[in-house]
Structure 1
Amino acid sequence: MKTPRDEDAGEAARPARHPTRKKPKLWSIRGQVTSQTYFFIACIGIALPFAAWIALNSSGVVPRIFMPTPIAVGERFITWVSDEGFGGDFWISISRVSLGFFASLALALPLGLLSGTFKPAEALLEPAMDFVRYMPAVAFVPLMLLWCGVGEGSKIAVIFVGTFFQMLLMFADDVRRVPMQQIEAAQTMGATRREIVYRVIFPSAAPAMLTTCRITLGWAWTYLVVAEMVAANSGIGYAILKAQRFLATDKIFAGLIVIGLIGLIQDQILRALHTVLFPYLKGR
């Protein structure tokens, strides 16, 4: 007969069984996919609206004058590039967005850092910012025209007003999400208040702040088109408004697609910058 000791020895001699690893499911909650799979799904997501556009256009439900074909839009874009000054419209819109956005960033970043770190600064800034941010930026256009004239200053000012107040409040919220344990650890090691702000709080909040920049950059493009439609004689928004007057819907579609592509490229640049600056967050 086998004794319990013999059975234990037999069990020890057997190779250890390792549980088989299951492949992660594609639709698992907060799961990960390969870069190839991500790219493939992203292409499908971009192609679906165009497929719906083609299907709706082919059905004849909407007249071609109101919804041109993708081919007609592409041909009109080529005409815009070759004969209608697309290059000038493109660069003037890019410069307006850049100046307005970076002006907001230069002011909102330090104020948001102060407001999220110190309660007196929060009490001083945030009630006023909450009050102003609910005022639609479009309503400021007449004032900007009176104060800044019809030149570049009014367009940049509209973009600034449309992004600054929300950016400041979002930066302050990003700062408040920094764990208090990090601040207390720095205080225990004798760090000064300045060192805690610039070596603990700001580096910890920087990834979320960059995400905030991605969001508000989209708003900057929205307010650019508003500004160019009201008081401008150049830019992509002005070209769209001019096309509307002549029922040139193919050029309107082309302008909208151009703005979407520019925004997508800028967003991907900021996403790549996020990966480069904060590689330790990859996969989160």
Structure 2
Amino acid sequence: MRPLHPVAPGTRSALGIAFFVLFVAFWAWITLGGHVNRIFLADPLSMLKDGWRLLVEDRFWLDILITIWRVFGGFVLASIVAVPIGIAMGAWKPVEAFLEPFVSFARYLPASAFIPLLILWAGIGEFEKLLVIFVGSVFQIILIVAVKVGSTRRDLVEAAYTLGATDNGIVKRVIMPANAPEIAETLRLVLGWAWTYVIVAELIGSSSGIGYMIINSQSRLATGQIIFGIIVIGLIGLLSD
């Protein structure tokens, strides 16, 4: 294998599928072969049976929809607030100097640390779950968008000024269009992180959602249901990517 040498699309797909096949085969071997106690790790067949039972008998699909709503609801709120602030920080250096120290500090604070406060402020309803997603996402989006906007090619900006563009016109017609793909990529990245925040929020003070099902299954040693819930999260993440 040559370093950095591209792989054909068909080969890439085959290699990706091969990994999953080998992973499931190894999982089946250690569980069905008796190498691991099934109390600690369910086998693939039992996991699928438990998952089907959850969907059909326990209406787990409702929990899935609730979790999806929480993720996208909180993420959209964070994006609406964060993207304009990030653009302002990247475009105008005084704004960056004013906000960057606080945003850099806040982005290191884990969203889970705010859950006790958010429960006190907003209760244990849906708004609290949305706030967890919001807090976990908003500062990450702001800083990444600011960095992307701040690295806009100077030659594009100077060319626009030469053609008579105003300061506001530079932002609207040069900076934003030039960075739209990068901003979209940032939102895609942070959306993946939002899934970790919602599961943490649902593990505490919740009566619905995928995270609630996982913690409820843990108390009953139902590892098949736990694994099924984890796989569902991964599949939804892939579909929303």
TM range (shorter): over 0.9
Give me the whole-angstrom Cα distance separating, in 1, the residues matched to 2:156 and 2:125. Answer: 48
1:178-197 matches, cutoff 5 A: 178-197=152-171
Instruction: Report 1 or 2 for greater relative contact order, CA contacts < 8 Å, sequence distance ≥ 6.
Output: 2
Give the aligned partner of residue 236 of structure 1: 210
Aligned partner of 1:29 in structure 2 is 4
Give the Cα–Cα distance (whole angstroms) in 2 for the partners of residues 253 and 52 of structure 1.
Answer: 15
Residue in structure 2 matched with residue 49 of structure 1 by the alignment: 23
Relative distance call for 1:94 and 1:197 in structure 2 (3 A) is same
**Pairing 1:248–2:222 present:** yes
CA contact (8 A) 1:116 1:173 kept: yes
Give, in angstroms, the shift of residue 207 of structure 1: 1.2
- Segments of 4+ in structure 1 off by > 4 A? none
Q: Distance in 1 between matches of 2:155 and 2:19?
A: 41
Q: 1:212, CA displacement in angstroms? A: 1.0
State which of 35, 53, 69 in structure 1 corresponds to 2:43: 69
What code does the residue aligned with 1:44 have?
A
The residue that corresponds to 1:135 in the other structure is 109
Q: 1:196: how far off?
A: 1.1
Q: Displacement, 1:30? A: 5.4
Aligned match of 1:209:
183
**TM-score normalized by the length of structure 2:** 0.95
Q: Tell me the CA shift for residue 144 of structure 1.
A: 0.4
1:1-48 CA-partner distances (Å, limit 9, x unpaired): xxxxxxxxxxxxxxxxxxxxxxxxx75625352x33332222223333
Corresponding residue for 2:192?
218
Between the aligned residues of both structures, percent identity stands at 42
Structure 2 vs 1, CA of residues 200 and 30 (structure 1 numbering), >3 Å: closer, same or farther?
farther
**Residues in 2 aligned to 1:236 and 1:131: alpha-carbon distance in whole angstroms:** 31
Aligned with residue 118 of structure 2, among 144, 158, 179 = 144
Cα pair 1:101 1:163 within 8 Å, conserved: yes
How many residue pairs match? The answer is 241
Match of 1:260 among 215, 218, 234: 234
- Unpaired runs of 5+ residues, structure 2, are none
Are the structure 2 counterparts of residues 228 and 194 from structure 1 closer, same or farther at C-alpha, using a change threshold of 3 Å? same
Question: Is the contact made by 1:77 and 1:254 (CA closer than 8 Å) also made in structure 2?
Answer: yes
SS of the residue aligned with 2:165?
coil
